[in-house]
């Protein structure tokens, strides 16, 4: 089976992440699927933003959860990247996407497309985001049994094991991905937050719960970072033997792709779908 390529926040090396241009480009690049990060706006709309705040990826400021859809739509989410937006992708104001708008883009494709939705949580799990996501998908004709909507095959991902466990009550395990990160890479203590060793202990605890969830088979897709794969070969081998499939992030280099091929990974998530596709064709 050829390795499937998921475009991480769209073709985000070329265009600003989560924008219309980035997703249109992902389809043109021949990606098998796309990844997105989902949050709720202040007025309860499902919007595509990675960070808790809009500051890094727009000309605005503040928390996504504190801004309405109209306020988010008034911001420029693309110019920070400096890439020219193609005419067919609209102007600056059309770049910010809701989940519904992303589905419209994917539904326009003439081939089956995977949509990997990451439910973005901080430390605290709140079922409202999952509930709103499943309700929005259902209103468009998605069914939980097949997790498919027209040509779009939807899967769900989260780092938060409580979110994955909650989804497991409603979604087939084959469409569920538990994300895993090597906590030594992710430790970035915030000022006023817990000290580094406390943060490391918390992250390790969450990771152990997530690993147990995979051992128990609640989620079928393992979603490790490249660093996690390198550092945790025993776990990878155990889940491989148990029949899990793997979706590794973020695979942008030849060396990282080699690692995935050597360990038999089925899916990779990349900011550079065209480059990874070309490397796979030469492999």
Helix (H) or strand (E) holding 8: strand 4-8
Give the distance from CA 169 to its chain's centroid: 21
Is 179 a binding residue for ligand G3P by CB under 6 A? The answer is: yes
Give backbone dihedrals phi and psi of 113, rounded to 5 degrees, phi first: -130, 135
168, interface contact from Ca ion, ligand G3P, none, CB < 5-8 Å by kind: none
Tokens 């390198």 label which residue? Answer: 230
175, interface contact from Ca ion, ligand G3P, none, CB < 5-8 Å by kind: none
8 catalytic? Reply is yes
Residue closest to Ca ion when measured from CB atoms: 118
Helix (H) or strand (E) holding 280: helix 273-282
**Alpha-carbon gap, residue 163 to 182, rounded angstroms:** 19
Query: What region does 86 belong to: left with phi over 0, alpha with psi -120 to 50, or beta?
Result: beta
Helix (H) or strand (E) holding 158: strand 152-158
Binding mask 5-34 for ligand G3P (x = CB under 6 A): ---x--------------------------
3-state secondary structure of 74: coil
Is 118 a binding residue for Ca ion by CB under 5 A? The answer is: yes
179, interface contact from Ca ion, ligand G3P, none, CB < 5-8 Å by kind: ligand G3P
**Alpha-carbon gap, residue 44 to 68, rounded angstroms:** 8
Piece in contact with Ca ion (CB under 5 A), picked from 26-34, 74-82, 85-93, 112-120: 112-120
Is 37 a binding residue for Ca ion by CB under 5 A? The answer is: yes
In angstroms, what is the minimal distance from the CB of 37 to ligand G3P? 5
244 catalytic? Reply is no
Is 118 a binding residue for ligand G3P by CB under 6 A? The answer is: yes
Catalytically annotated residues: 8, 50
Per CB under 6 A, residues contacting ligand G3P are 8, 35, 37, 50, 118, 179, 223, 249, 269
């Amino acid at each position: 089976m050829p390795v499937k390529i998921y475009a991480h926040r769209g073709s985000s090396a070329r265009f600003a992440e989560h924008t219309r241009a980035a997703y249109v480009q992902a389809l043109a690049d021949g990606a098998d699927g796309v990844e997105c990060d989902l949050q709720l706006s202040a007025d309860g709309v499902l919007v595509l933003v990675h960070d808790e705040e809009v500051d890094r990826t727009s000309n605005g400021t503040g928390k996504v959860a504190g801004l309405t859809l109209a306020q988010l739509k008034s911001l420029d989410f693309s110019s920070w990247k400096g890439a020219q937006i193609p005419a067919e992708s609209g102007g600056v104001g059309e770049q910010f996407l809701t989940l519904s708008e992303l589905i419209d883009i994917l539904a326009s494709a003439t081939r089956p497309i995977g949509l990997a939705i990451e439910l973005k949580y901080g430390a605290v799990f709140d079922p409202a985001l999952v509930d709103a996501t499943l309700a929005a998908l259902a209103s468009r004709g998605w069914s939980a049994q097949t997790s498919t909507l027209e040509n779009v095959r939807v899967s769900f991902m989260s780092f938060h094991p409580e979110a994955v466990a909650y989804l497991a009550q409603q979604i087939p395990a084959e469409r569920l991905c538990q994300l895993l990160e090597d906590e030594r890479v992710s430790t970035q203590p915030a000022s006023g937050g817990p000290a580094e060793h406390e943060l490391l202990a918390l992250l390790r605890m969450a990771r152990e719960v997530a690993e147990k969830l995979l051992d128990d088979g609640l989620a079928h897709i393992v979603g490790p970072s490249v660093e996690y794969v390198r550092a945790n070969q025993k776990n990878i081998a155990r889940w491989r033997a148990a029949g899990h499939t793997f979706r590794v992030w973020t695979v942008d280099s030849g060396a990282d792709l080699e690692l995935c091929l050597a360990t038999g990974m089925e899916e990779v998530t990349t900011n550079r779908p065209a480059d990874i596709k070309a490397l796979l064709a030469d492999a």
